[in-house]
Chains A and B, each alone.
Chain A
Amino acid sequence: MIKLFPKTPEILQPNQYIVFKGKPGEDFPDFIQVDKPYIVEYTKQITFARSFIFPSGEKKTLSLANDSDYENYFNLFPTMKDSLYEILVGLKGGKNMLVFIQWPTERYPFELESPHIHVDLDNSITRMVSPITVDRSPADEPRLRIHTLKDLTEMYFQLYNNGPDYEKLVFKFLVNKCKIKAVEKMPERYRVIEGLSILLR
């Protein structure tokens, strides 16, 4: 569901197929069938932007889920069972801003296997484990892709200003809203969407 690519990935198009991979009943909401094909029936693209000005050395964790508190929630989850949001995330502005992905709460899935290095914002070395930055996913060439579904386990962005002064970070989202439908026959070609258990493996 979350991937960082070396270049901007292609977004899903109508009549393409996807298959959800992971633990049934755990990785995805109950209404999603794991290892079964879905066809993308329609797509619609929505652009959205958020910006944040942060003081030096300060942090905040914000949810990607939906809530009327839209200052602290990005509202990037679908509300319908047949919707899949494919989101490209590009960053602009503050070159010293670090964005960490947490999924689920307070868990950093993008870590090395070594038991000695974990994401820890209190240390200048350990805060260099997998932050997304303006250089790694620039707004004009976004490389971070996230998929969300209704009732999916909540995801978070933790923002941290690693610079000496105030910084403004702008998120540019391209939301490819896909209407999906389960089909019986497994197609020859399909795209895999991996669940949380695969990411945490």
Chain B
Amino acid sequence: MPSVVITGDESTKEVFDTPYDKIGKIAFIEVDNQSASDVTITVQDVFTPFATDETPSPSEVTRSRKQLTVKAGEDISWEDKTKSIEILGTCKLAFSTTSSDIKVTVGYDFE
């Protein structure tokens, strides 16, 4: 299972791109917040839907799949709460506070 460490030094960071014929699954998220502020991290799913009868010219959509808040100085991991998160397109993390002292490890898989 692949995993990646993301540094929270920008407001939004890309985690992975789901392959065309797969659905992404978040296996776990670990947040190590050694910054001076609490941080809320939003797991986003960014994709463009197929053109339908009702929406013939679709635009890119950003869906929030999960929000996690970690206090300053804490290191917390989630496994059970993230397993139901499905990513249809590109998985991104949005940070309420930016700092290079925020490290997020995301484990993921594709089905």
A93: interface (CB < 8 Å) = yes
B100: interface (CB < 8 Å) = no
CA distance A41 to B82 in the complex (A): 51
A127: interface (CB < 8 Å) = no
Pick from A26-34, A51-59, A99-107, A179-187 the stretch touching chain B: A51-59
A112: interface (CB < 8 Å) = no
Give how many B residues have a beta carbon under 8 Å from the other chain's beta carbons: 20
What chain B residues lie within 8 Å of A52 (beta carbons)? Answer: 50
CA distance A49 to B20 in the complex (A): 9
Q: How far is the CB of A142 from chain B (nearest CB, A)?
A: 15
Once the chains bind, are A168 and B55 in contact (CB under 8 Å)? no
CA distance A166 to B47 in the complex (A): 10
A53 interface neighbour in B48, B54, B111, Cβ under 8 Å: B48
CA distance A84 to B94 in the complex (A): 51
B83: interface (CB < 8 Å) = no
What chain B residues lie within 8 Å of A49 (beta carbons)? Answer: 20-21
Once the chains bind, are B22 and A53 in contact (CB under 8 Å)? no
Once the chains bind, are A55 and B22 in contact (CB under 8 Å)? no
Q: How far is the CB of A172 from chain B (nearest CB, A)?
A: 8
- Restricting to B51-93, which residues have a CB under 8 Å from any CB of A? 51-55, 58, 61, 63, 86, 88-89
Once the chains bind, are B52 and A60 in contact (CB under 8 Å)? yes
* Interface residues of chain B: helix, strand, loop or mixed (majority): loop
- Restricting to A158-189, which residues have a CB under 8 Å from any CB of B? 165-168, 170, 172
Instruction: Using CB atoms, name the residue of chain A closest to B87.
Output: A168
Instruction: Using CB atoms, name the residue of chain B closest to A50.
Output: B21
Interface-central residue, A51, A55, A168, by most chain B CB under 10 Å:
A168
Once the chains bind, are B53 and A59 in contact (CB under 8 Å)? yes
Once the chains bind, are A51 and B48 in contact (CB under 8 Å)? no
Q: How far is the CB of B59 from chain A (nearest CB, A)?
A: 11
CA distance A61 to B52 in the complex (A): 8
What chain A residues lie within 8 Å of B88 (beta carbons)? Answer: 53, 166-168
Report if A93-B52 is in contact (Cβ < 8 Å); known contacts: A166-B63, A168-B88. no
Instruction: Using CB atoms, name the residue of chain B closest to A121.
Output: B53
Instruction: Report which A residues bind B (CB closer than 8 A).
Output: 49-55, 57-61, 71, 92-93, 165-168, 170, 172
Instruction: Report which B residues bind A (CB closer than 8 A).
Output: 20-23, 47-55, 58, 61, 63, 86, 88-89, 111
